[in-house]
């Protein structure tokens, strides 16, 4: 399967843009803020929360980073005016981390302050391992400066994660999608799952609010067990899922009384985001390709 996945990735640049858009449509709200507002409204009606991500990362200029920062201010204003149950999630390379670290900090602080004034929250997303130290440093700096309305993300895949949790008040815990070398990241699925369980347990034990971000049923069941064992109230944690993924399971969790937040990306950079996500994790490309072939077969099959 690995050879097939890599072959799909190599072919991606040749795939027509409309086809990529069609494949990515279930997982991206759309190119505009209006699209995001529409999808968040639908999620809220279904009893789900949302976190909105403006697509755009690894920018190469100050101007690009300022554009993305402005977009986040616009998102926060619309969340407030539309009374949506949503917050925002930010990738620091979109705010200029690799262009000018100080400028990135200023952008992030401005967005966090805007959110604070509006009674909202900012999740600082985690990217590949080259950004881990800087991301945690900026998060801790904002919290120390009085911005209690910011949280961060940890990836169970990284070997360092358990040593990073001390004092983290609000964490989204995910497996991590970035392909990293074995020296710094677990490779086997059973190792990643074990790290996830152990990290979740440690975070809950220290009183962190945890966004349990996984679609892995084994980890969902384990998380439910940990929550029940500790007698946690629903306000002490939440489950998080990606837009378009395991929606029925999310509905089940809502009906069972759990908070469920959906990660919702939108923006004009949807094509770059889609291609990059597939290139970063070739296995995802293979799954999508096989799923697409399956749908094509069903479309072409004669009606019974």
Q: Which two tokens stand for residue 287?
A: 């799954």
- Where b means 16+ CB within 10 Å and e means fewer, 241-269 reads bbbeebbeebeebbeeebbbbbbbbbbeb
The size of the chain, in residues, is 304
Rounded to two decimals, the pTM is: 0.88
pLDDT at 21: 72
Catalytic residues: 125, 172
All residues at 6 or more sequence positions from 70 whose CB lies less than 8 Å from its CB, including other chains = none
Q: Where are the alpha helices (DSSP H) in the chain?
A: 2-11, 17-24, 33-45, 62-82, 101-117, 132-144, 161-164, 189-205, 217-230, 247-255, 270-280, 282-300
pLDDT at 55: 94
pLDDT tens digits, 141-164: 999 999 999 999 999 999 999 999
Neighbours of 73 (CB within 10 A): 15
Neighbours of 104 (CB within 10 A): 23
Q: Are residues 226 and 203 in contact, defined by beta-carbon separation less than 8 angstroms?
A: no
Q: In order of start, what are the domains of the chain with their CATH numbers?
A: 1-26+280-304 (no CATH), 29-266 (3.20.20.220)
> What whole-number percentage of the chain has pLDDT above 90?
76
Mean pLDDT, the chain, as a whole number? 89
Give the C-alpha separation, 242 to 135, whole Å.
22
pLDDT tens digits, 197-245: 999 999 999 999 999 999 999 999 999 999 999 999 999 999 999 998 8
Between CA 216 and CA 225, with CA 219 as vertex, the angle to 5 degrees is 145
All residues at 6 or more sequence positions from 228 whose CB lies less than 8 Å from its CB, including other chains = none
Q: Which residue has the higher pLDDT, 177 or 183?
A: 183
pLDDT tens digits, 28-49: 999 999 999 999 999 999 999 9
Q: Which of 178, 172, 174, 184 lies closest to 276 in space, CA to CA?
A: 178
All residues at 6 or more sequence positions from 125 whose CB lies less than 8 Å from its CB, including other chains = 53, 89, 90, 91, 92, 135, 153
Give the C-alpha separation, 121 to 169, whole Å.
13
């Amino acid at each position: 399967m690995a050879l097939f996945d890599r072959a799909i990735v190599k072919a991606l640049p040749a795939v027509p843009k409309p086809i990529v858009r069609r494949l990515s449509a279930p997982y991206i709200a759309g190119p505009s803020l209006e699209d995001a507002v529409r999808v968040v409204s639908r999620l809220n009606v279904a009893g789900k929360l949302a976190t909105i991500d403006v697509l755009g990362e690894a920018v190469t200029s100050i101007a690009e980073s300022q554009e993305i920062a402005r977009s986040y201010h616009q998102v926060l204003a619309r969340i407030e005016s539309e009374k949506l149950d949503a917050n925002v999630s930010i990738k620091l390379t979109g705010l200029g981390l690799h262009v000018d670290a100080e400028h990135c900090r200023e952008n992030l602080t401005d967005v966090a302050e805007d959110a604070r004034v509006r009674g909202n929250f900012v999740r600082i997303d985690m990217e590949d391992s080259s950004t881990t130290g800087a991301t945690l440093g900026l998060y801790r700096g904002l919290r120390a400066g009085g911005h209690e309305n910011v949280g961060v993300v940890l990836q169970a895949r990284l070997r360092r994660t358990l040593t990073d949790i001390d004092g983290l008040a609000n964490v989204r815990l995910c497996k991590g999608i970035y392909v990293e070398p074995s020296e710094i990241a677990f490779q086997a699925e059973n190792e990643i799952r074990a790290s996830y369980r152990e990290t979740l347990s440690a975070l809950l034990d220290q009183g962190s609010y945890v966004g349990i971000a996984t679609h892995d049923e084994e980890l969902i069941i384990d998380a439910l067990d940990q929550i029940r064992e500790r007698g946690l109230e629903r306000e002490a944690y939440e489950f998080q899922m990606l837009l378009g993924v395991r929606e029925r399971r999310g509905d089940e969790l809502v009906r069972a009384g759990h908070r469920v937040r959906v990660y919702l990306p939108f923006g004009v950079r949807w094509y770059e985001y889609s291609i990059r996500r597939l290139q970063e994790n070739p296995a995802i490309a293979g799954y999508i390709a096989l799923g697409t072939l399956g749908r094509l077969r069903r479309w072409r099959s004669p009606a019974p």
